[in-house]
Structure 1
Amino acid sequence: MRIVDSADWRDRLTYETPYRVAEVMPGDAARCASCPADAAPYDRDDLWAVKHRHPTNHGGYVRFYCEAHVPERTQPVAPALRSAPARRSTPRPAAPRAPKAPAASDVVRAMCPDCFVEVSAAGECGLCGTRV
């Protein structure tokens, strides 16, 4: 089974950009997300659709806004360029590194030749008693 995203009209919208609702999703009159709940619905030509980012849904969410409440389009801010630090004229000598100790899972331990189990630190097999 292959899981894919569904084709949806909201996928065509870019984040934080206002679009006329009638152009992206025709239909009946709708309400503004910022107006009071008892406000009358607006015609879709008078509403703006804005796709917002959501912290847990990668597709975001879309809200409809009237002319009075439509948010301004936010332009992404370019990160400030930092000047490169001054380079030293002579290269720094490499610091000597101590060899890493092997991980506990990498250490080869003694095995019993008859039972093929790891023997204790005393060198005696716990199953058959053979000394290794």
Structure 2
Amino acid sequence: MKIVASSDWRDGLPFDEPVRVADVTEGEPARCFSCGADSAPLDRTELWAVKHRHPKNHSGYVRFYCDAHVPAPQPVAPTTPPRRAAARRPRSAPVERHPAARRPSAVEEIVRAKCPDCFIEVSATGECGMCGQRVG
């Protein structure tokens, strides 16, 4: 199953550019975000909708502002394509590689004592961890 975002009137808004709310959607009077929840609702012809960018949601979020609090339009940064890496150097003839000879590790060279009853390695103390027998 593929989960996709729903589409509505907010998708058509440009980022960081104020648009009259009455021009984009119908509805009841609403409040200015900056004035707060205690302010009186304003008619949609008196409110501006601004779509802001969000770091974790590519669709952004929309807030309504009154004439006194509408933010100034943000200049759009020019998008330049990333610079390509330096030209690749031409490939030379393939180099033959030989695997290095495997050296035995120091751990493999040590012979450790084993318990004659349990057949497990005995610790440095010489005592078997399973049965407790002392191996000399």
Q: Answer yes or no: same fold by TM over 0.5.
A: yes
User: 1:49-128 counterparts in 2 under 5 A?
Assistant: 49-78=49-78
List 4+ stretches of structure 1 deviating above 6 A.
none
CA deviation map 1:7-33 (0-9, x unaligned): 111110110011110111110000000
> With structure 1 as the length reference, what TM-score do the two structures score?
0.57
> With structure 2 as the length reference, what TM-score do the two structures score?
0.56
Compare CA radii of gyration and give the structure with the larger one: 2
The two structures, once aligned, show a CA RMSD in angstroms of 3.2
CA deviation map 1:46-69 (0-9, x unaligned): 000000011111111000000000
SS of the equivalent of 2:34 reads coil
Structure 1 stretches lacking a partner, 5+ long: 80-98, 110-120, 123-132
User: 1:25-44 counterparts in 2 under 5 A?
Assistant: 25-44=25-44
CA deviation map 1:72-107 (0-9, x unaligned): 00112348xxxxxxxxxxxxxxxxxxx7x89xxx99
What's 1:12 paired with?
12
Structure 2 stretches lacking a partner, 5+ long: 80-94, 103-107, 110-136
User: How many aligned positions are there?
Assistant: 89
In the aligned structure 1, how far is the partner of 2:78 from the partner of 2:6? 32
Going from structure 1 to structure 2, the CA distance change for 1:2 and 1:36 (only over 3 Å counts) comes to closer
Deviation at 1:4, TM superposition (A): 2.6
